[in-house]
Chains A and B, each alone.
Chain A
Amino acid sequence: MSMEFALLVDAITPAVPPPPADDAWRRAPGDRLLRTAAWHRVVPMLHRRLLALRWAPTTVRDAIEDAYLANAARNLAVMASLRDAVDALEAAAVPVMLLKGAALLQDVYPDPAVRELLDLDLLVPGDQLEVADAALGAAGFRPESDGGAAPAQEVRAGHHHAAPLVDHRTMTAVELHHHVAMASERRHFPIDDLWRRARPTADGAFLLPSAEDLLLHVCVHFTRNRLGGSHDRRGSGGALAQVGDVAWIVHRERIDWKLLVDVALDYQLHGHVYLALYAAHAVGVPVPASALEALRPAGLDARVARRLVALRVLRDGEHLPVRGLRWIVAPGRRALERGWDADPASAMSMAGAYVRRARVQLPLARSALRRPWTVVADHRLSAQLKPLEMSGEELTSR
């Protein structure tokens, strides 16, 4: 593991380890450290680590402290929006549960400023999506674009959350979920289970998933992000922040590992959970070996999980999008419609979107072609992980 990744892994560790005995870590190049931390969305966590080490080149230390303080301010604004959103939903008699970052900042992270929060994810019952949407609209939350939100029926069938609604006062996006898993992942996952096991926060202000469900959701999200790719994330972006979430949940919550294993197997999401916990275990998070063994899909080649850690976690920056060169050159029509604002009824619009996309992808393709073996390794891993992406069923060896 490179020195900057060793420092970043220390940074996401709940119990800050003492400085290493030798001072090799002092030679970690500061600008590269900062770039890698930003890629993995752990700059605020790095601030905490550098405070303990009492070291970093001044310019880097200042940049990291600035980012930490900006994140603290940003999270204050997001939490204000959270309170407003939950108040509006409760006033409309819509049950609401916090998910992901919003949930983790309540009782898991003792210093909420270390965890970056991009948006708010709230779970509401699927049959109350319209009521919830109207309640947030009345409270000042508006769709991001003029096109408005998709009909609730469409959202329920196709996706696990509605289009974001934005609090324009704090520029915070709220995503209303009716499920925590995507359509391909939730065939065996009754969401009522999550509601049944939910618990209040320590101060009683909000409703949270149980510790096991929180961990399961974070794990499924981690693996989904490692499987998919987009022009701006490319499979490894934010990975260490998600491993950090796993580390902090394991550190702060009393996990019933047997329950976690049982529900993951019942929901046929054990492959997703296994890969996330394997990655966490690989960087030192104390995940019981028995739980890992129980979750490991039958016939899984252990090298796949190791490759995933090497290629989709301990890595950063410009590398091939995980879907491969073909994905760069020949994107599907839906990719152009959804990601690049193409109008499918207009050939000109589709062509324009293709060109805009190609301009962004070209440097990546060049970069990838300079390192052909990396391309091969990425492609091979993508093929090995594809069963998980396509069906959510058990991962099989290839």
Chain B
Amino acid sequence: VTGSLDGRLRRQEGVLAQEAQGQTVLLRLADGGYYAIDEVGACIWALCDGETPLTEVVTALCAQFEAPQAVITADVLEFVAELLREQLLVESA
């Protein structure tokens, strides 16, 4: 899915999230690993609901943030690839 905008991702079970003074903290309960993501990352995280394709995630971010679509697309793909590697997101069936 890292190279594809057609995929749909969902949040891994057992990963908890909480807003914290402008950042969002993600906690993987299985091993206690935690991550802090910024406002843009939090938007992507919220949109990864298992239903929304990444193309729509990019569209939503383009409407919200002033940056070229190509830049946003590359950033989204890089970000979700990292969250997949860290087992915070999984591909939706």
Q: Which residues of A contact B (CB under 8 A)?
A: 47-48, 51, 68-70, 72-73, 75-77, 79-80, 111-113, 169-171
B: which residues have CB within 8 A of A?
A: 16-18, 20-21, 23, 25, 27, 29, 32, 34, 36
Given known contacts A68-B20, A111-B20, A112-B18, A73 and B29 CB-to-CB distance under 8 angstroms: no
Give the nearest-CB partner of B26 in chain A. A73
Tally of contacts, chain A with chain B, CB under 8 A: 44
Give the complex CA separation of A48 and B18 in angstroms: 16
Which residues of A are found within 8 Å of B21, using beta-carbon distances? 47-48, 51, 68, 111, 113
Q: Which interface residue of A47, A72, A75 has the most chain B CB atoms within 10 A?
A: A72
Instruction: With both chains docked as a complex, state the minimum distance between the C-beta of A250 and any C-beta of chain B, in angstroms.
Output: 23
Q: Taking CB as reference atom, which chain B residue is nearest A66?
A: B36
Chain B residues with CB under 8 A of A70: 34
Q: Which residues of B contact A113 (CB under 8 A)?
A: 18, 20-21, 25
Q: Are A76 and B18 in contact (CB under 8 A)?
A: yes
Complex formed: what's the CA distance from A73 to B20 in Å?
Answer: 10
Minimum CB distance partner of B30 in chain A: A169
**Contact between chains at B16 and A80 (CB < 8 Å):** yes
Contact partners of B27 in chain A: CB under 8 A: 73, 76-77
Contacts of B17 in A (CB 8 A): 76
- Among B16, B20, B29, the residue within 8 A (CB) of A69 is B20
Query: Which A-B residue pairs are the 8 nearest by beta carbons?
Result: A73-B34, A72-B25, A72-B20, A76-B27, A113-B20, A76-B16, A73-B27, A69-B36
**Chain B positions within 8 Å of A76 at CB level:** 16-18, 25, 27, 34
What would be 24 A-B contacts, judged by CB atoms less than 8 Å apart? Answer: A51-B21, A68-B20, A69-B23, A69-B25, A69-B34, A69-B36, A70-B34, A72-B18, A73-B27, A73-B34, A76-B17, A76-B18, A76-B34, A77-B16, A77-B27, A77-B29, A77-B32, A79-B16, A80-B16, A80-B29, A112-B18, A113-B20, A169-B29, A170-B32
Most buried by B among A47, A69, A70: A69
Instruction: Quote the shortest CB–CB distance from A14 to chain B (angstroms).
Output: 15
Assembly CA distance A76 to B32 (angstroms)? 10
- Quick one: which of B18, B25, B29 contacts A170, CB cutoff 8 A? B29
Measured between alpha carbons, how far is A72 from B32 in the docked complex, in Å? Answer: 12
Residue of A48, A112, A113 ringed by the most chain B CB atoms within 10 A:
A113
Question: For A47, what are the chain B residues with a Cβ–Cβ distance below 8 Å?
Answer: 21
Taking the closest CB of chain B, its distance from the CB of A291, in whole angstroms, is 33
Contacts of A111 in B (CB 8 A): 20-21
Q: What is the minimal beta-carbon distance from A48 to any residue of chain B, in angstroms?
A: 6
Task: State the CA gap A73–B27 with chains docked (Å).
Answer: 6
Tell me, rounded to whole Å, the shortest Cβ–Cβ distance linking A72 to chain B. 4
Residue of A nearest to B33 (CB): A73
Q: How far is the CA of A51 from the CA of B16 in the complex (A)?
A: 25
Nearest chain A CB to B33's CB is how many angstroms away? 9
Q: How far is the CB of B24 from chain A (nearest CB, A)?
A: 9
Q: How far is the CB of A141 from chain B (nearest CB, A)?
A: 15
Query: A55 CB to closest chain B CB, in angstroms?
Result: 16
Which chain B residue has the least Cβ–Cβ distance from A79?
B16
> A69 — nearest CB in chain B belongs to which residue?
B36
Q: How far is the CA of A72 from the CA of B17 in the complex (A)?
A: 9
**B23 partner residues in chain A, CB cutoff 8 A:** 69
In whole angstroms, how far apart are the Cα atoms of A170 and B17 in the complex? 15
Query: For residue A77, which residues in chain B have a CB less than 8 angstroms away from its CB?
Result: 16, 27, 29, 32
Q: Which residue of B lies closest to A51 (CB)?
A: B21
Cα(A355)–Cα(B27), bound, Å: 42
- Give the distance in Å from the alpha carbon of A79 to the alpha carbon of B29 in the complex: 11
What is the bound-complex CA distance between A170 and B33, given in angstroms?
Answer: 11
Cβ distance B70 to chain A, nearest Cβ, rounded Å:
31
Q: Least Cβ distance of A126 to chain B in Å?
A: 32
**In the complex, what residues of B have CB within 8 A of residue A170's CB?**
29, 32
